[in-house]
Structure 1
Amino acid sequence: MESKNRLITTSRLKRITYLLFFLVFLTLLVALYIDSFLSIEPLASPSYSTLDQSWSLKIDGKEVANDLTLPFSIKEDKKGKTVSISRNLPSTYEHSHICFSTTTSMASIEILVDGNSIYSFNGDNTFWKHPILGGKAIHFTYLPDDSMGKEITLNYNFTSNNSVSGRICAPQIGTKTDLILSHLREWPALLFGFIFLLVGSLALFGSFFYDHKTERASLRYYGLLEIALGMWVFSQTASKFIIIRNPVLPMNFSILALFILPYVLIQYVRTSYTIIEKKTAPFYLFSLVFLSMFVVGGVAQFTGLFEYSDMLIFSGLALVIFIVSVTVVLGIDYFKGNRDLKSFLAAISVLFITVLAEEVLLILDISLHSALILHIGMTICGVILLVRTASVIASVRSLSVKENMLLELAFTDSLTGVNNRRSFDDFIDTVIHGEVDIDILGIIMCDINNLKKINDLYGHSAGDSILREFSRGLQSHLPESSTIYRIGGDEFVAIIPNITSEQLELTCKKVFTLSSASHIELFSVAIGTRLFIKQHTSDIITLIKEADKAMYECKAKMKNEEIENTLCDTEESDILNA
């Protein structure tokens, strides 16, 4: 009755708890609805203006175009030439203290108002042979108070002739806060970049805590893969300038990601999937070429032969070919029966689909800030590969547990649960080879008398029961540091580290009493002992033989009824030989 009342009370408390949580949630919704009508001035307002029209373009002082609309890309050779665009600023503007902002890539820039320089960025203070100005750089400068209506000129000096160089973006004017917040529209890329870097760093750091090589490798290369993606995503967003104003420094990580990605990807495949090595070996060698090209590019950039940015088109194309080739080879292996590869193929397929979606949006002139679809695709790809890595770790752990169980079975006596003869022989080998850091070992050899008679009279189940009972008794009477071995049908050995001769003698007396607790009168135990002292002798084999001999002498005396439940040797010096 009391139990029934307790169940009723518990049920009522649960219902009350659910009701309270519902009321808490309802109260929150009401509070949010009421507070949603509070209006406050937003951080960003559409008060900045984009100066995208009415520009004139000159190259080395020669007018090339009039009434130009930005953005605009210069296709002809421009390296070493001065490219200028100019137009008049608006005659009036609603704010004072106006900020001017523009974006460059692979170019120095100087901004002039009516021929007077107000800002310059040229990258001369570097150790490279030529200034390296790759990567998107956002520039901010305040316009003089009397600038409105005057001519503004932007002089560019591009550092490369490659196809991604020569782009001139439309400048903006407004308050600096509004201009900065306008660039923060790309914050999702910053978030995705940080997530990739965080997950990759945690995976890489966590890999050091795994003992098995396969676990470590799979998690390590997954972490490096995520870090490479994170470096690339982080360096591509303008929002990074909230954290770091140096426009070129993040570009180094972007280029590094490009060149290490093949190596990390193929190593992840090799360590996370079962696949014939000769199928991945060519890709591994090709990935080493990518790594070497990063070093070659650095040397070439330092000496002024060419820049990393000059390698981007070729390297990007080579990377695409590499990934497609790996996917094709693994796809063929999948259709031949290697079903584990489906996770990798699914991850790469998601990545390809999102890249294709971004390209379609570009063709349709639909712009999503921060390549959101691509970053979502990268995230899904990362999750799929993380699940695979978790599966690898779980599989290795399961296999390790099975191996330990088999190992335990191989070294454990199935009837009594103590160590078996094989385990005893291995232990003796470790002592002989000096692998056991113990100076004193007590050796107790035990033999159960009359076991055959017990089996004949009471059945083998009774004999088995005696063996189990004796092994449990040994475990309870010996020190915790002891190890027990069953080395024969009715023979046991106990090894006790760091024990004195007096303690060993006392332990033997306890072992003798085990037979008195049994309901079978025929059950008795013969014992022989020796004390191994490393300082006096290294020949443990001889001592074991002496203990075994002493045990059989004890057994003979017990058989002749000369002794009963007492030590076979009357003198301690005869029993304990150091």
Structure 2
Amino acid sequence: MKKLNFTSITKYTILFLIALLLTVTAIVFLEGRKSKNISLWITPASYFNEGWYYFDSDSRRQEIDSLPVRIPADKFGTARIYHKMVRSSHYCMYIDYYAHHQAVKAFFNDELIFEYAPPSNPGWLKSYRSFHNLIAIPLNRDGILCIETKASISSTAGEFGQIRIGSRDELLNRIVSERLPQFLLGAVLIVLGFILFIITAFYLRVAFDRTILYFTLLLIFLGVWQTEESRLLQFFIGFQALHWFFEYMMQPFILILSFLFIKELFINKKHPALIILFACITLSIFTQLILQITGIAQMTSTLFMINSMFIVVFAYILVLINLNFEFARKSVKVIFSISIALCIVSFIISSAVKHHKNFTDPILYLGIVFLFISISIFVIQKTQKQFNAVRSAEIYKKLAFLDISTGVSNQTAWYTLIENFSADGIKLDKYCMFMFDMNNLKTINDQYGHLEGDKAIRSFCECLKRAVGKSGDIYRIGGDEFICLCKNIDYTRATQIENMFDYYVKNQTESKVQFTAAHGYAFFSPSSKADFIQAQSMADKAMYENKILSKKGRS
């Protein structure tokens, strides 16, 4: 019978506990299906789309079948719709009216109960943003509710979207529940962007590749744009100009970052395809801004230029990465290509049927998710390659500076240290340089063989390591010569290192050959590379004096 050890008992006990926990969980889940679910969401607000009417230019009442609707507006872009309100047991109810680039006023029995007017400056900016407006309706009496809109841009004149009615909490819950997925998508992109930056810049210590930098910024800007598109930033930020920036300026910035990302993929930075793409992007953004500033067309009506360029840019990314980048596996390349192709299709559909936002918005979110997946696959693959290259380079560098036999730094490391030295500030650091030399290594090699001589050298070095500890760094500069460089130690510690080294050498058991050693040290405060050479000469002289004294003591 196989004897159980502690490791086996631990493993089987943990497996039994996990199985027991899962069994109990399964029982609770199965029984829990019989109970009623709880929810923190308040009863959703109901639509308030029927019963509205308006007056035409001849003052005749015209019934509206249902919202949303577009009715004739006057020459100033103003339009009004009306609804008869009946007295209710509720003292006050709210309606949620989504103003689409419109100023809004609400009247109850000709009394102004709500007003929202977008900023009037700068004068050329007619469209700030679309906002939710929660309007309190007094229901302690019968009356006529009138909603008046004045369009900032001609395309929204006379436009009235769906209206919901309910308590304030019901309306807020409805807005949040509908927009939360898009807000979370944006938040996730922002967080991932910052995480990627931190990992690549600090954890992996990779030289920050521009491709990764642009991708990181692309994630953050996409995230900000999507959180703004969710409309939920309105809960936290009231500054309308900032909402305008997040909505309309993010997209050109995303386009510029996408171009910079593509530019890094080109080996030939002056490739004609790259120049043409840059010219198209520059022209579309410049045209948009000129049309906006001159008042000829608002940003809202020229976004098709940006959307078209997005499709072109994503197509460039698809082609370039497939042509210029070698993926780790063919399956990864296929997933990347399918993801970015689906992203392109999503943006084409979203641009083609932009007037049906309930249909196009989810497709656009899906497109952004596919874009994130595809480029993430590429960046992860590239980062992994880059990290492996850096790690290999670090290994080669370490090997180049390492004495394989003893495990301490070698002569190359020592002279590299001197070559790269620079004094820090006015106050110079105090160093102590030790020289250590094994006596009669040639005799040991001749008498016992080179294998035993190497073993004696390793034992010698181990004694030195134990004596120095963390006080300094050790370098093997010759067959039996070592330098130890200590920073900011005093004479007491220097003498202690020598005495401990002598003790360890005398009592070593790693080598069957008993050996002796000479040593000496010199203190110096270097201000230049030459000071190291001079200190080495002084320490070397002190070591040979010690060697002569040792020989006299043994004779």
TM range, smaller chain: 0.7 to 0.9
The answer to whether residue 412 in structure 2 is matched with residue 418 in structure 1 is no
Alignment equivalent of 2:123, drawn from 124, 129, 132: 129
CA drift at 1:260: 0.8
| Deviations, residues 356-400 of structure 1 (Å, cap 9, x unaligned) | 56679989x8955x8334324423432444454444444444333
Q: 1:495 aligns with which of 479, 482, 485?
A: 485
Secondary structure class of the residue paired with 1:140 = strand
**Which residue of 331, 335, 349 maps to 2:341?**
349
Of residues 300, 309, 315, the one that matches 1:318 is 309
Name which of 455, 459, 471 aligns with 1:465: 455
Which stretch has the larger CA shift, 21-30 or 329-338? Answer: 329-338
Q: 1:461 offset after TM fit, Å? A: 1.3
Equivalent position of 1:159 in the other structure: 152
Contact map agreement 2:102 2:156 (CA 8 A) in 1 = no
The one-letter amino acid paired with 1:531 is A
**Residue 231 of structure 1 pairs with residue 224 of structure 2:** yes
Contact 2:307/2:347, CA 8 A, preserved across alignment: no
CA contact (8 A) 1:334 1:342 kept: no
Q: Is the 8 A contact 2:106 2:112 kept in 1?
A: yes
Matched residue of 1:34: which SS?
A: coil
Is 1:438 matched up with 2:432?
no
Equivalent-residue separation in structure 1 for 2:14 and 2:217 (angstroms): 47
- Give 3-state SS (helix, strand or coil) of 1:35's partner: coil
2:241 and 2:542 map into 1 onto residues whose CA distance is 84
Q: 1:253 Cα deviation (Å)?
A: 0.4
Identity %: 17
Task: Describe the superposition over 1:459-491 as per-residue Cα deviations: whole angstroms up to 9, x where unpaired.
Answer: 321222222222222222335323332222333
Cα shift at 1:269: 5.0
Tell me the equivalent position of 2:68.
Answer: 71
Change in CA separation of 1:331 and 1:290 when aligned onto 2, cut-off 3 Å: farther
- Distance in 2 (CA, whole Å) between partners of 1:518 and 1:445 is 19
After superposition, where does 1:30-49 map in structure 2 within 5 Å?
A: 30-36=30-36, 43-44=42-43, 47-49=46-48
Q: Taking structure 1 as reference, are residues 50 and 425 closer, same or farther at Cα in structure 2, changes over 3 Å only?
A: same
CA gap 1:164/1:378 in 2 versus in 1, 3 angstroms:
farther
Distance in 2 (CA, whole Å) between partners of 1:371 and 1:536 is 66
Show the counterpart of 1:478.
Answer: 468
Write the deviation string for residues 516-555 of structure 1: whole angstroms up to 9, x where unpaired: 8579898644635342333999744345335445656776
Which residue pairs with 2:133 in the alignment? 139
Q: Which residue of 364, 381, 388 corresponds with 1:398?
A: 388
Stretches of structure 2 lacking an aligned partner (at least 5 in a row): none
The alpha carbon displacement at 1:47 in A equals 4.9
Instruction: Determine the C-alpha separation between the residues in 1 that align with 2:120 and 2:482.
Output: 79
Q: How has the CA–CA distance of structure 1 residues 349 and 154 changed in structure 2, closer, same or farther, with 3 Å as cutoff?
A: same
Gap change, CA 1:321 and 1:90, over 3 Å in 2: same
Q: CA deviation at 1:415?
A: 1.8
Give the conservation status (yes or no) of the 8 Å contact 1:484–1:495: yes
Q: 1:28 to 1:401 in 2, by over 3 A?
A: same
Q: Which residue is 1:82 aligned to?
A: 77
SS in 1 for 2:554: coil
Distance (whole Å) between structure 2 residues aligned to residue 16 and residue 233 of structure 1: 46
Confirm or deny: 8 A CA contact 2:433 2:522 kept in the other structure: yes
CA-CA distance at 1:100 after TM superposition: 4.3
Separation in 2 of the partners of 1:376 and 1:67? 35
Letter in 2 for 1:50: N
1: distance between equivalents of 2:132 and 2:512?
Answer: 97
Report if aligned partners of 2:408, 2:476 keep a CA contact under 8 Å in 1: yes
Distance in 2 between residues matched to 1:411 and 1:386, nearest whole Å: 37
1:109·1:155 contact (CA, 8 Å) conserved in 2?
yes
- Which aligned pairs between 1:471-550 and structure 2 lie closer than 5 A? 471-498=461-488, 504=494, 507-508=497-498, 511=501, 514=505, 517=508, 524-525=515-516, 527=518, 529-534=520-525, 539-548=531-540
In the other structure, the counterpart of 2:445 is 455
In structure 2, the residue matched to 1:109 is 104
Structure 1 residue 72: deviation in Å? 3.9
Q: Is the 8 A contact 1:56 1:67 kept in 2?
A: no
Aligned length: 548
- 1:186 alignment partner in structure 2: 179
- Alpha-carbon offset, residue 110 of structure 1: 3.2
Q: What amino acid is aligned across from residue 51 of structure 1 in structure 2?
A: E
1:541-560 equivalences under 5 Å are: 541-548=533-540
Distance in 2 between the 1:57 and 1:536 partners?
91
Q: Give the conservation status (yes or no) of the 8 Å contact 1:109–1:122.
A: yes
Q: Name the CA shift for 1:11/1:230 in 2 (closer, same or farther; >3 Å).
A: closer
Q: 1:169: which partner in 2?
A: 161
C-alpha distance in structure 1 between counterparts of 2:324 and 2:305, whole Å: 29
* Aligned mates of 1:42, 1:471 — CA distance in 2: 72
CA positional deviation for 1:258: 0.5
- Equivalence for 2:4: 4
Note if contact 2:519-2:547 (Cα within 8 Å) is conserved in structure 1: no
* Structure (1 or 2) with the larger CA radius of gyration: 1
CA 224–185 in structure 1, closer or farther in 2 if over 3 Å, else same = same
Aligned to 2:368: 378
Aligned partner (choices 249, 255, 258) of residue 265 of structure 1: 258
- Contact 2:88–2:140 (8 Å) recurs in 1: no
Q: Give the CA deviation at 1:84.
A: 2.3
Contact 1:80/1:158, CA 8 A, preserved across alignment:
no
Secondary structure of the corresponding residue to residue 474 of structure 2: strand
- Which residue identity lines up with residue 536 of structure 2 in the other structure? I
Taking the aligned partners of 2:477 and 2:64, their CA distance within structure 1 comes to: 100
